[in-house]
Chain A
Amino acid sequence: MKKLLIRLGNVDRRWIFLLIGLSVLIPLLKPKWIRIPIETTLNTQVVFDEISKLEENDKILISFAYGPSTKPEIHPMTIALFNQLFSKGVKVYIVSLWPDGVIMAKDAMMQILDSKVFNLEDGKHYVIFDYKVGGEIVIKNIASDFRGLYMQDINKISVANISMMEDIKSIEDFDFVFDLSAGVPGNAEWVQYACDSKKVPLSSGCTSIMVTDAIPYVESGQLKGILAGMPGAAEYENLVYDFMINQNDNKFILNYDKIYPGKATSRMSSQSLAHVLMVLLILFGNISYYLLRKRRN
């Protein structure tokens, strides 16, 4: 047994890559084999509750700061967030702080429009603005002078001709800010440069790697909950899905048959299995290392 454990410690790393690959691939190919229940954590519930407080014609500013590389984690949050907002008749304003954020925003909006669940009109229910270079400088300008920064929307239509832009001058004219980010600028910059000083409620959906840095803001109430990586997305998707299918007379939802749970939920089996494997590998690796060191001594 000892020999086997020591030999396991010296196994070629390529076998480990293969095992990790299989642990991700098998649940994707055979989703029925492994089903792990998803329980809502407090931070996700807070996000859902805060968004639920918004009412018809309230205004939300959504910041896109992620790209294709982090799409699997954040895009499901975006789709679920749009679903919750549009089913409440909230007006959505989209800005991009990453160059590929615009592509992500357009893709997410296209998915919502293609689903035909809502009857949405560009410029009336939502507006998308182009990417602006500058990161935190852009956030600071959004906080003080939104119109000075964004003169026209992504379709080159002047903001003066967009009806939902009538009362928007600075960040204080929004009822909520939601940050979808995978790095810098992200939720920390929104907290520091805009929402703390202007006292606008802010929430965030971010990649797993950002969560430990963002948690102090959540604990202090500077962030109203957080959607933490893929598990956060899966939990939020389930909450929004349950909310939407249980709405009997929602005037904003046109087609109940087209409501589906999102993609993050189906990905969680792969995530969980890969984590179990990682834990086992760390455990065996350490035991093997301990035995090897003992033998050498």
Chain B
Amino acid sequence: MSFNFEIIGAWLVVLMTLSIFSYLYGDNIFYKAAEHIFVGISAGYIFAITFWDQIHPNLLGRLFPSYIDAGYELELSYIIPFILGIFMILRLVPSLSWLARISIAYIVGMAAGLKFYVFINSNILIQIKSSAIDFNGSTFDVINQIIILIGVFSGLIYFFFSKEHKGTIGKISKLGIYFLMIKFGASFGFAVMGRISLLIGRFEELLTYSSSEFNYATPIVFVIMIIALGFWSFQDKKTSLNQDDSVNKITR
């Protein structure tokens, strides 16, 4: 007996997608199962890929080049990250968990140092430079840049808390709120657009897998799921009615 893994994969995709969608009706066993499978598989996959693609070749490949051929030569300096990694795992041992702080301190310090320069350069200096108005541009560009400059200035004033927001400061900060609201509105619009795009992607796959080529995976799983949900919903109602009856009897 031979298995067609493409068809098995299609059925799994349909089952998982419809299980997650079933949450829109209400919390149920299909959703719970799909949620747990997703989290478990994701964690396992990331763990495996991190070990085999990173730790195994880059760390162990440099410390034990005669055993692991990853194209590197012996580099003893890699003992330091190896020890820091072990310190992180020691968090699981209560008496030695304090050693993990050394690794965390290294990570935080290194990240802060890395971010410091690049953030100042790309997000502050260049952004300040680009918010200056270029009067050599077209009228439309100049108006656009003036609006951006007003938005930046009023937005910053809104976050300036050293002075009470009254009078002129209050008016400018209120203008800043409007600019922020426009930004949040645009972000919300884009977020909706993104979610709808994902929905389109799922529906497209469900439609593809509803063909005879995939043994009508979508309609079959869909019908089975509706029957199962209907059955459980009916059972739940029956159980809650019985419970209500027994409560009534006791109170009488």
Closest to B45 in A: A99
Whether B122 pairs with A191 at a CB distance below 8 angstroms is: yes
Given A192-B122, A212-B190, A29 and B70 contact (CB-CB distance below 8 Å): no
Whether A192 pairs with B190 at a CB distance below 8 angstroms is: no
Residues 154-200 of B at the A interface (beta carbon under 8 Å)? 183, 186-187, 190-194, 196-200
Given A72-B204, A208-B191, A220-B130, A151 and B197 contact (CB-CB distance below 8 Å): no
The answer for the CA separation of A136 and B71 in the assembled complex, in Å, is 24
Min CB distance B151 to A, Å, is 11
The answer for the CA separation of A163 and B70 in the assembled complex, in Å, is 21
Whether A131 pairs with B193 at a CB distance below 8 angstroms is: no
Residues 95-119 of B at the A interface (beta carbon under 8 Å)? 114, 118-119
Whether A219 pairs with B130 at a CB distance below 8 angstroms is: yes
Whether A222 pairs with B203 at a CB distance below 8 angstroms is: no
Given A73-B194, A230-B193, A193 and B118 contact (CB-CB distance below 8 Å): yes
Given A151-B71, A196-B121, A222 and B126 contact (CB-CB distance below 8 Å): yes
Whether A73 pairs with B72 at a CB distance below 8 angstroms is: no
- From B24, B119, B200, A72 is in contact (CB under 8 Å) with B200
- Count of residues in B whose CB is under 8 Å from the partner chain: 39
Min CB distance B242 to A, Å, is 26
Whether A229 pairs with B126 at a CB distance below 8 angstroms is: no
Q: Which of A85-93, A108-116, A268-276 participates in binding chain B? A: A268-276
A133 neighbours in B (Cβ, 8 Å): 50, 53-54
Whether A28 pairs with B194 at a CB distance below 8 angstroms is: no
Whether B194 pairs with A209 at a CB distance below 8 angstroms is: yes
Whether B70 pairs with A151 at a CB distance below 8 angstroms is: yes
- Is A297 an interface position by the 8 A CB rule? no
- Is A294 an interface position by the 8 A CB rule? no
Min CB distance B57 to A, Å, is 9
Whether A278 pairs with B127 at a CB distance below 8 angstroms is: no
Given A133-B53, A275-B196, A25 and B46 contact (CB-CB distance below 8 Å): no
Chain A: interface size category:
35 or more
Mark interface residues in A66-101 (1 if CB within 8 Å of B CB, else 0).
000111110000000000000000000000000100
B119 neighbours in A (Cβ, 8 Å): 192
Whether B196 pairs with A274 at a CB distance below 8 angstroms is: yes
Min CB distance B241 to A, Å, is 22
- Is B252 an interface position by the 8 A CB rule? no
- From B46, B49, B200, A267 is in contact (CB under 8 Å) with B200
Min CB distance A13 to B, Å, is 8
Mark interface residues in A255-290 (1 if CB within 8 Å of B CB, else 0).
000000001000100110011001000000000000
Given A28-B203, A99-B45, A222 and B191 contact (CB-CB distance below 8 Å): no
Min CB distance A102 to B, Å, is 9
With a 10 A CB-CB cut-off, give which of B71, B121, B122, B192 has the most chain A CB atoms: B122
The answer for the CA separation of A134 and B191 in the assembled complex, in Å, is 27
Whether A207 pairs with B194 at a CB distance below 8 angstroms is: yes
A130 neighbours in B (Cβ, 8 Å): 53
The answer for the CA separation of A70 and B200 in the assembled complex, in Å, is 11
Whether A72 pairs with B201 at a CB distance below 8 angstroms is: yes
Whether A220 pairs with B127 at a CB distance below 8 angstroms is: yes
B190 neighbours in A (Cβ, 8 Å): 208-209, 211-212, 228-229
Closest to B119 in A: A192
The answer for the CA separation of A133 and B50 in the assembled complex, in Å, is 7
Whether A229 pairs with B193 at a CB distance below 8 angstroms is: yes
The answer for the CA separation of A193 and B117 in the assembled complex, in Å, is 9
Please name the 6 residue pairs, one residue from A and one from B, whose CB atoms are nearest each other, closest first.
A72-B201, A220-B130, A208-B194, A192-B118, A208-B193, A151-B71
Spell out A's residues near B (CB within 8 Å): 14, 17, 20-21, 24-25, 28-29, 69-73, 99, 130-134, 136-137, 140, 151-152, 158, 191-193, 196-197, 207-209, 211-212, 216-217, 219-222, 228-231, 263, 267, 270-271, 274-275, 278
